[in-house]
Structure 1
Amino acid sequence: MRILLSTDLVGGVWDYAVTLAEGLVNRGVQVMLAAIGPEEQIDHSSVPLGVELVVSDFRLEWMPEPDLDLARAADWLRDTARHWDADILHLNQMAYAAHGFETPTIVVAHSDVISWFSETLGAAAPAEWSSYRESVRAGLIAADMVVTPSVYQSDLLRMHFGRPTDFVIYNAAAAPPAGGDTVRDGFVIAAGRAWDEAKGMEIIDEALIHLADSAPTAHLFGSTLGPMGERYHSERVRCHGKVPKGELGSWMNRASAFISPSRYEPFGLAPLEAALHRCPLILSDIGSFRELWSGCAVFFRSGDSRSLAERLVEIGQDPDGQALRAHAARERALTRYGMG
């Protein structure tokens, strides 16, 4: 079996793709990773052993004036699949399938802009996104199979694009090396694209301001500057930028809690990584997080910094409860979202 696996370099799609590629190679599948974006942004050390890598730089479907690049990227993927003799083309972008492929296509709908507007802003996408909507709809309809990482995202896809999902397949992550319980320090952490309004990172800063001198120290890992000039500013949260996975894991091992204040999150790999490191979860109360982590996380009202501040106080007064929830989250991560 030979699978051509497309990926881009923005957000968690790269992490998803290399994790999947490694799992497939370990099961005897031949994998070629087709990366779309500037090659200088690729962490070549994260490409699994045995995975072939090809790279070309095109605008993605959600970027300004993407039509010409969508056609060129589809041509590149088609030619690559043909010359490499791929059995399956696994697309991690939604619009390409509409350009026609001889190879059977699987499209994984990780997220979409129309749902970003409805979930993040509570509003319909502006008219200028109508071309995006139609290109994505065409790609989803043309795909031989459509997969989403949660029932939550599946429901949004059906609502906004009219394409039922064929399968819901949860994302996965490899468990870190086994180790004993570590001493939890008093700080909290978060990770993700801080510049993306959907991630809600400003809520953490506001919660710390509400708590004043009683606030825990908070650390944020992830990019603060977006590809279109978006920027995240913080008063109280200490921003470290993007760090290697091992370094983030070390912080997760010591943090008293991992906070994800997302307004829109179709799955969320960072909470999964935190759970695997036995780091207690504090999550915004959105559909995907309830679906994935109900019963083993503390939830606060989405977009409500005072609600988050209250949860931070409560968990500080209940370390035993936090430890029990962290254990439950790790067990769920291993059994439901593990790589086994």
Structure 2
Amino acid sequence: MKILLTTDAVGEAWHCSVELLRAINLAAEFPVFATLATFGTPLSTDQMKVIEKLPNVEVVFGDYLPEWMTEAWRDVDEAGEWLSELAKSMQPDVVHLNGYSLAIHQFGAPVIVAAHWCVWTWWRAVHKCDPPPQWNEHRQRVRNGLLAAEAVVAPSQAMLDALERAHDLHADPRWLAKPRKAIAIACAKDGYRTGPKHPFIFTAGQLWDDATNLAALDEAAGELSWRVYAAGSYHAPGQDSLVLPKHIKLTGELPRIHLQQWLADADIFAAPFKYDPFGAAILEAAMSGCALVLGDIPSLREHWNGAAEFVDPDNPREIRDTLQNLIRTPAQRRRLANAALERALAFSPLRMARAYLKLYESVSRVKHSPAAVNGSHMPRVRMHGPSHAAVRHDHQPMTAGASRRSTVR
């Protein structure tokens, strides 16, 4: 089976793509070959090292803005043409898009849209209203992509429901007729360990994102007996000034091995998020034996109910009281940590890969005979694009004025 898979180089789409590619040939009874097409920020040297360890994967880079940026539609249209040409050359059995708007293009293969987030569902969750008019085209393009896809996947049923509401899909027969699957994001156990624990609270994510709700956690942190640390980018793309937290200590962006060490040491992981369709950072914290304190939103309830304490994201006092109560009760911390670890282990990469393989086969209508995977005949990773030395390391999205060149012709 041949898969054309698209992703950004940041966020949960990247995390999910890597875990899927790592597990898929272990889960399949036939060889699976993948072309990973990335957009926006080129892969870093560390990301390329990860990809180079994966069997049967080649990487191509399209120098186009991702669809979630304003003023990106010219790039998105050109990216669709480029991806269509790529599909003609590789003739995939399935096109798996970690995005929406490209699904309207002709690829000669069925298209699956994986919905990790969207502007409209984010805006409604964070701001409790619809986005301003400049996002209307984004909404229409997302809706068109969802309706054009053969199937739609999201990391939670809550995200599927939010998409249906935000894009007025509930009465559209095209939406109702297509497969819609909730497939949870997975995390390999490698590299994560569960202690010994130290008396501090940790959080991680895109800290500039209002959905991360760092302001509420910072307000609560001022009255806690333990320190609170936060890892991740604090500088929003295009932001000129910063308002630093008063009480939370920032670690900056951490290499994965250092992030895993912080998670192993932290006793509590606080994520009073306002929006998170699944929560890759939460999954990593659970794999590391942290007690979880999470925002009480449908997606996090869906996956972590019974394995975490839940708080109203808009109530800093409740966040403070819940965290301080956990600080005072070691037995409750251990109970929650054990429950979270048990839950996290159920979100295995093999389980995720098998769910995707079942969907791939159902939409592609291609039957594959079991076959041994002969490593000597596997294609090596090929980087069509910047050399390792030329890959940018800043992980910042490109601006609308950036170069619009494909590195694959």
TM-score w.r.t. the length of structure 2 is: 0.78
Residue aligned with 2:349, SS: coil
Q: Distance in 2 between matches of 1:3 and 1:64?
A: 29
Report the alpha carbon displacement of residue 299 of structure 1 after superposing the two structures with TM.
1.2
Does the alignment pair 1:8 with 2:13? no
Q: Distance in 2 between matches of 1:67 and 1:178?
A: 40
Q: Mark the structure with the bigger radius of gyration.
A: 2
Amino acid across the alignment from 1:59: L
Q: Distance in 1 between matches of 2:62 and 2:203?
A: 32
Q: CA RMSD for the aligned pairs?
A: 1.7
Amino acid across the alignment from 1:13: A
For residues 161-203 of structure 1, the C-alpha deviation after alignment (integer angstroms, 9 at most, x for no partner) is 2145611111111113586x53211111101000111111122
C-alpha contact 1:39 1:55 (8 A) present in aligned 2: yes
Aligned to 1:101: 107
Q: Distance in 2 between matches of 1:95 and 1:215?
A: 47
Report the alpha carbon displacement of residue 228 of structure 1 after superposing the two structures with TM.
3.1
Q: Which runs of 5+ in 1 are unaligned?
A: none
Aligned to 1:63: 69
For residues 105-135 of structure 1, the C-alpha deviation after alignment (integer angstroms, 9 at most, x for no partner) is 1000111111111110101121221111101
Q: Distance in 2 between matches of 1:290 and 1:38?
A: 32
Aligned to 1:49: 54
Report the alpha carbon displacement of residue 23 of structure 1 after superposing the two structures with TM.
1.3
Aligned to 1:298: 309
Residue aligned with 1:39, SS: coil
C-alpha contact 1:261 1:302 (8 A) present in aligned 2: yes
Aligned to 1:78: 84
Does the alignment pair 1:168 with 2:173? no
Q: Distance in 2 between matches of 1:269 and 1:312?
A: 21
Amino acid across the alignment from 2:70: P
C-alpha contact 1:282 1:299 (8 A) present in aligned 2: yes
Aligned to 2:233: 223
Aligned to 1:281: 292
Aligned to 2:153: 147
Report the alpha carbon displacement of residue 69 of structure 1 after superposing the two structures with TM.
0.9
Amino acid across the alignment from 1:171: I
Aligned to 1:129: 135
Q: Distance in 2 between matches of 1:111 and 1:225?
A: 20
Does the alignment pair 1:39 with 2:52? no
Report the alpha carbon displacement of residue 310 of structure 1 after superposing the two structures with TM.
0.3
For residues 71-124 of structure 1, the C-alpha deviation after alignment (integer angstroms, 9 at most, x for no partner) is 111111111122122111100011111133222110001111111111101011
Q: Distance in 2 between matches of 1:184 and 1:147?
A: 36
C-alpha contact 2:295 2:311 (8 A) present in aligned 1: yes
User: Which portions of structure 1, spanning 4 or more consecutive aligned residues, are displaced by more than 4 angstroms?
Assistant: none
Alignment match of 1:339 (pick from 331, 334, 349): 349
CA gap of 1:202–1:54, structure 2 versus 1, over 3 A, is: same
Aligned to 1:307: 318
C-alpha contact 1:218 1:237 (8 A) present in aligned 2: yes
Does the alignment pair 1:29 with 2:39? no
C-alpha contact 1:195 1:232 (8 A) present in aligned 2: no
Residue aligned with 2:199, SS: coil
CA gap of 1:55–1:232, structure 2 versus 1, over 3 A, is: farther
Aligned counterparts, 1:205-224, within 5 A? 205-209=218-222, 211=223, 214-224=224-234
Aligned to 2:17: 17
CA gap of 1:137–1:322, structure 2 versus 1, over 3 A, is: same
Q: Distance in 2 between matches of 1:232 and 1:145?
A: 42
C-alpha contact 1:225 1:232 (8 A) present in aligned 2: no
C-alpha contact 2:192 2:264 (8 A) present in aligned 1: no
CA gap of 1:36–1:232, structure 2 versus 1, over 3 A, is: farther
C-alpha contact 1:176 1:277 (8 A) present in aligned 2: no
Identity of aligned residues (%): 33
C-alpha contact 2:192 2:288 (8 A) present in aligned 1: no
C-alpha contact 1:224 1:232 (8 A) present in aligned 2: no
Amino acid across the alignment from 1:300: V
Aligned to 1:91: 97
Alignment match of 1:185 (pick from 198, 223, 230): 198
Residue aligned with 1:266, SS: coil
C-alpha contact 1:25 1:31 (8 A) present in aligned 2: no
Report the alpha carbon displacement of residue 151 of structure 1 after superposing the two structures with TM.
1.0
